Amino acid sequence: IPTNLISITDGQIYLSPDILQKGILPAADVGRSVSRVGGKTQLPAYRAVAGDLRLSYSQFEELEAFSRFSSRLDDETRATLERGRRVREIFRQPQYEPMRVAEQIAVLVAVTNGLLDSVSLPNLKAAEYRIRQAVADRLPDLCERIESGAVLAEEDLTAISRTAQEAIAVADT
């Protein structure tokens, strides 16, 4: 879509058949999608947590494509790829299973802070579920504030991280 048309509209969402074949819904290609409105329409909690997520996920996808041609990867590249795979996995949402905003924020905090790096991919959905349950059960006031559009303070992010860590640790025992 030409740039002048994008500026007339609010942008474009590019849906990718390759992403759809991987089972990721919605199959939006974040590298090719464009938004003029973007973060202005998001709740403040999303902006606080997912600010760098779009860029890092786009970089992961490029790195993943490049890594297919290389058999030798350094530790940092391998770690970036592993975290990116976990981000992609948490983006998968089963049909007819809506997730509250506060639960989404909690899972995004966990994955962006590397709390899920040690969880194997087959066990990721179970860990994600435990995080969602723990945050809903232990931080109901914070969940309510997130849902109402409150700005997250640093202590809120710390509380979410601590609760997520505890939920993951319980699962590992």
Catalytic residues: 36
Residues in a beta bridge with 34: 12
The DSSP symbol for 14 reads: -
CA nearest neighbour of 11 among 36, 32, 28:
36
Q: In terms of DSSP H, where are the helices of 51-153?
A: 53-67, 75-91, 101-112, 124-138, 140-147
Longest dimension (CA), the chain: 56
Cis peptide before 17 (omega within 30 of 0): no
Q: Taken in order 74, 49, 132, 31, is the CA torsion positive or negative?
A: negative
